[in-house]
């Protein structure tokens, strides 16, 4: 594995499977009475969050703490990239604190790349602008494998604002690495102009894509897109690209419905779909902690997992 | 008449890359060209193996003064120009305050004379404060001591079609030219890199080629309609070259420039999010680079202009989207053109002289008439002794620490480039000797 996890493209098939397998073992530990493992004792993990994201920050914090790491939450929210302390100065501060890993969420695409050039520790991308969110893709893959038993050969439809979605980018890359077939479904305005160069299929027709999908992943429609002429109205978007009960019925019986959250109920996903047994949305949250534990564990080179059962025992 | 300086005999230089000849300079003028000339008291410069070109003329330089002296000053920027072989530069108007009045353009012009490294020709803003809402006092700038003839809101596009039309019409009164930064603003809101495969992959807002091409097409039609002169700044796409070729085929008064970086670099360099590769217009694809080279070779694109855009370190050592647009270029331009155009067989040295000196001097109205200095003259007796001596056999790695520019944001850092400017003469006075500033 690389020292950093910045893009899903950084992961070989072997790396990705190692993370998923490690996460599986760690998830089993989570079911035990004492959840905490001593593997990262004495190591420092900094959560550097330039964007408000309670769920992702809490997930990383829980992951690090269950591995007994010291966690420092550095909330730089509100300090816009254009003013205040520069990212480079912040990086030097983190260096001085002796951060072994920096988990960064930032509104600027590529900020983790820049940070990785300025710190010695590992950098974990927890979402950068409209670029990538690799741990989300890993937890999505983990969830698919748990529900459907495999990833190889799965047909995955990713639906919505692909243009601005870091979740979609990371998922396309990782799912391709793991052998799934991805179809992006969106209005043409919400697809990158060169999407034909991506390793996936593209469709403008949600109803047409659903009958052959094993997984349908709904992307959040950001409020700021709603008034920028990407689509005429929220209602029209919902009619054409929302997953409602009628469309749910088009899916094969075994298919699952995913959403990275937070959801706009009634826009991209109907409430009865979000709450249906096919929805994995709550599991995705739980799986996020296991996957992020695995990522931190493997990047920071914690004690070999083989030793772990003894430690837990 | 008092001698402008000591006489010089430049021995065995190769004018425009041709056969070796001696060049005699007296009183700031090239007085004789031939073989075996007698020094007769002149200082002798052995130029064996060096190519002699007319002093280069840059139509597009950001000297940053007044306002951003932390990035560049007229002194440091013109020193960089001289080291790059330039004898005249056009200083863009987007300073603080904006060069939109006779007072500011005269200040810049005067600072250039005091520095003495090369002639500084201020470019006047088209619209007051670069705000794009009403014309600046173009006539006052034209009539000032700075004799402004090139007007540009560079950095911003004069996107309002009526304002652009009026500007083109108005400058006909004093033989001016409007140099347009062609960028449809609505199509490029928040744009960071070329829109294409790279922008999609990196999740950076794309800067589509059509945003440049649509404005160029409109402006060519406007220039034709009002019978005025349009100059297109930093053409960056294959489509732009085609539109300009079409406009020229109609006989319209349209000229265009391309930057050294757009002749050599592609958007893929930004894949690591290093803002040293962030520039406006953005680096494009290899197909665009190829079309720009072909356009420069066949004359569709008239000239190379640097768009030298210095920025302090803190404006580049940031997240990509927070970083400033721009690259330095004066000290590497001739070497980049050598690599991109001469080494590839697309231009000979006479062609380089045409595209980096003769044509930009014509576009900038540096004709010697009406009090303007003369640049871009052929190396013939009687011409002002503005020339550069260039060693085509040298080769070295670009080290920004050695640059005279106050800023270090060169995308060519670490790149091995051919050539070396050995000497630059401005009206018979060396501004650069042995590759170092002479004053």
A113 contacts in B (CB within 8 Å)?
Answer: 272-273
- Distance, in Å, from the CA atom of B259 to the CA atom of B304, rounded to the nearest integer, reads 6
> Do the domain assignments include residue A1?
no
- Distance, in Å, from the CA atom of B101 to the CA atom of B136, rounded to the nearest integer, reads 7
Residue of A nearest to B324 (CA): A82
Question: What value of ipTM does the predicted structure carry?
Answer: 0.91
Alpha carbon of B200: minimum distance to chain A alpha carbons (Å):
5
Residue of A nearest to B199 (CA): A192
Structure tokens at B97: 């305050």
In this structure, the answer to whether residues A230 and A180 fall within a common structural domain is: yes
In this structure, the answer to whether residues A177 and A291 fall within a common structural domain is: no
A132 contacts in B (CB within 8 Å)?
Answer: 203
CA nearest to B423, candidates B410, B411, B413, B437: B437
The enclosing domain of A60 has a CATH number of 3.40.50.1370
Q: What is the extent of the structural domain holding A103?
A: 8-131+285-312
In this structure, the answer to whether residues A200 and A234 fall within a common structural domain is: yes
> Do the domain assignments include residue A3?
no
> Do the domain assignments include residue A234?
yes
In this structure, the answer to whether residues A94 and A155 fall within a common structural domain is: no
Domain total in chain A: 2
CA nearest to B59, candidates B33, B91, B29: B91
**Contact between A109 and B322 using a beta-carbon 8 Å cutoff:** no
pTM (2 d.p.): 0.94
**Residues counted in chain B:** 439
Q: Is the peptide bond between B97 and the residue preceding it cis, with omega within 30 degrees of 0?
A: yes
B319 contacts in A (CB within 8 Å)?
Answer: 81, 87, 106, 108, 110-111, 114
In this structure, the answer to whether residues A176 and A275 fall within a common structural domain is: yes
- In order of start, what are the domains of chain B with their CATH numbers? 8-52+380-406+413-437 (2.30.40.10), 55-371 (3.20.20.140)
In this structure, the answer to whether residues A252 and A296 fall within a common structural domain is: no
In this structure, the answer to whether residues A306 and A241 fall within a common structural domain is: no
Q: pLDDT 10s digit of each residue in chain B, 439 long?
A: 344 568 999 999 999 999 999 999 999 999 999 999 998 899 999 999 999 999 999 999 999 999 999 999 999 999 999 999 999 999 999 999 999 999 999 999 999 999 999 999 999 999 999 999 999 999 999 999 999 999 999 999 999 999 999 999 999 999 999 999 999 999 999 999 999 999 999 999 999 999 999 999 999 999 999 999 999 999 999 999 999 999 999 999 999 999 999 999 999 999 999 999 999 999 999 999 999 999 999 999 999 999 999 999 999 999 999 999 999 999 999 999 999 999 999 999 999 999 999 999 999 999 888 788 999 999 999 999 999 999 999 999 999 999 999 999 999 999 999 999 999 999 999 999 999 999 7
In this structure, the answer to whether residues A95 and A140 fall within a common structural domain is: no
> Do the domain assignments include residue A250?
yes
User: Does residue A55 have an active-site annotation?
Assistant: yes
User: Which regions of chain A are under pLDDT 50?
Assistant: 81, 303-313
- Catalytic: which of B22, B267, B302, B307? B307
Per DSSP, which regions of chain A are E strands?
Answer: 44-49, 70-75, 101-106, 122-128, 155-159, 181-185, 201-203, 215-218, 256-258
For A114, residues 6+ apart whose C-beta sits below 8 A from its C-beta are: A87, A88, B273, B318, B319, B320
In this structure, the answer to whether residues A120 and A164 fall within a common structural domain is: no
Q: What's the N-to-C CA distance of chain A in angstroms?
A: 28
**Contact between A86 and B204 using a beta-carbon 8 Å cutoff:** no
Structure tokens at B79: 């020193």
Give the C-alpha distances (Å, rounded to integers) separating B330 from A33, B63, B307, B310, B378. 68, 11, 8, 10, 22
């Amino acid at each position: 594995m690389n020292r950093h996890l910045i893009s899903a493209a950084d992961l070989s098939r072997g790396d990705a499977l190692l993370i998923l397998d490690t996460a599986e073992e760690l998830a089993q530990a989570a079911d035990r009475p004492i959840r905490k493992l001593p593997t990262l004792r004495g190591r420092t993990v900094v959560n550097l969050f330039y964007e408000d994201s309670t769920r992702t920050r809490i997930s990383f914090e829980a992951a690090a703490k269950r591995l007994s790491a010291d966690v420092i939450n550095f909330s730089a929210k509100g300090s816009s990239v254009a003013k205040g302390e520069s990212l480079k100065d912040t990086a030097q501060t983190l260096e001085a604190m002796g951060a072994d890993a920096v988990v960064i969420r930032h509104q600027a695409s590529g900020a983790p790349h820049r940070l990785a050039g300025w710190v010695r520790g590992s950098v974990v991308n927890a979402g950068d602008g409209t670029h990538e969110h690799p741990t989300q893709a890993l937890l999505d893959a983990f969830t698919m494998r748990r529900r459907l038993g495999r990833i190889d050969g799965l047909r995955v439809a990713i639906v919505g604002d692909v243009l601005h979605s870091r979740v979609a980018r990371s998922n396309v890359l990782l799912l391709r690495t793991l052998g799934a077939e991805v179809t992006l479904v969106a209005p043409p305005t919400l697809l990158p102009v060169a999407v034909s160069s991506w390793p996936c299929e593209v469709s403008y027709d949600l109803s047409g894509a659903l009958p052959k999908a094993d997984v349908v992943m709904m992307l959040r429609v950001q409020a700021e897109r709603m008034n920028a002429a990407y689509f005429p109205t929220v209602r029209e978007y919902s009619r054409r690209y929302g997953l409602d009960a009628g469309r749910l019925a088009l899916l094969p019986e075994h298919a699952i419905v995913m959403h990275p959250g937070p959801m706009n109920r009634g826009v991209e996903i109907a409430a009865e779909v979000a709450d249906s047994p096919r929805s994995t949305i709550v599991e995705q949250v739980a799986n996020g902690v296991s996957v992020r534990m695995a990522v931190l564990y493997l990047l920071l080179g914690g004690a070999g997992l083989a030793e772990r059962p003894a430690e837990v025992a | 008449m008092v001698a402008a300086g000591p006489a010089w005999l430049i021995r065995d230089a190769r004018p425009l890359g041709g056969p070796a000849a001696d060049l005699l300079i007296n009183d700031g003028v090239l007085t004789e060209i031939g073989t075996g000339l007698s020094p007769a008291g002149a200082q002798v410069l052995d130029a064996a193996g060096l190519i002699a070109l007319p002093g280069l003329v840059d139509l597009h330089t950001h000297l940053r003064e007044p306002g951003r002296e932390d990035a560049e000053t007229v002194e440091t920027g013109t020193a960089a120009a001289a080291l790059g072989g330039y004898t005249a530069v056009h200083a863009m108007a987007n300073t603080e305050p904006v060069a939109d009045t006779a007072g500011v353009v005269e200040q810049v012009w005067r600072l250039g004379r005091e520095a003495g490294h090369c002639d500084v020709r201020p470019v006047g803003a088209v619209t007051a404060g670069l705000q794009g809402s009403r014309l600046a006092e173009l006539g006052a700038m034209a009539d000032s001591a700075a004799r402004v003839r090139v007007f540009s809101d560079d950095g911003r596009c004069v996107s309002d079609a009526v304002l652009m039309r009026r500007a083109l019409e108005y400058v006909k009164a004093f033989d001016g030219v409007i140099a347009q930064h062609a960028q449809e603003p609505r199509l490029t809101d928040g744009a960071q890199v070329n829109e294409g495969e790279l922008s999609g992959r990196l999740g950076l807002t794309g800067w589509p080629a059509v945003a440049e091409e649509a404005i160029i097409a409109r402006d060519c039609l406007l220039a034709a309609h009002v019978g005025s002169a349009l100059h297109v700044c930093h053409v960056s796409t294959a489509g732009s070259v085609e539109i300009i070729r079409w406009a020229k085929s109609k006989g319209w008064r349209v000229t265009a420039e391309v930057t050294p970086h757009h002749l050599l670099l592609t958007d893929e360099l930004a894949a690591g999010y290093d803002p040293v590769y962030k520039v406006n217009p953005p680096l494009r694809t290899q197909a665009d680079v190829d079309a720009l080279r072909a356009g420069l070779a066949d004359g569709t694109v008239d000239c190379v202009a640097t768009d030298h855009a210095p920025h302090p370190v803190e404006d580049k050592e940031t997240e990509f989207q927070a970083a400033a647009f721009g690259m330095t270029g004066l000290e590497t331009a001739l070497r980049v053109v050598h690599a991109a155009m001469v080494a590839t067989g697309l231009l000979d040295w006479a062609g380089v002289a045409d595209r980096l000196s003769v044509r930009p001097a014509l576009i900038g109205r540096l004709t010697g008439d009406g009090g303007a200095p003369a640049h871009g003259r052929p190396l013939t007796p009687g011409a002002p002794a503005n020339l550069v001596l260039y060693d085509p056999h040298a080769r070295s790695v670009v080290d920004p620490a050695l640059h005279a520019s106050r800023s270090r944001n060169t995308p060519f850092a670490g790149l091995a480039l051919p050539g070396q400017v050995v000497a630059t003469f401005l009206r018979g006075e060396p501004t650069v000797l042995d590759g170092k500033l002479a004053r």
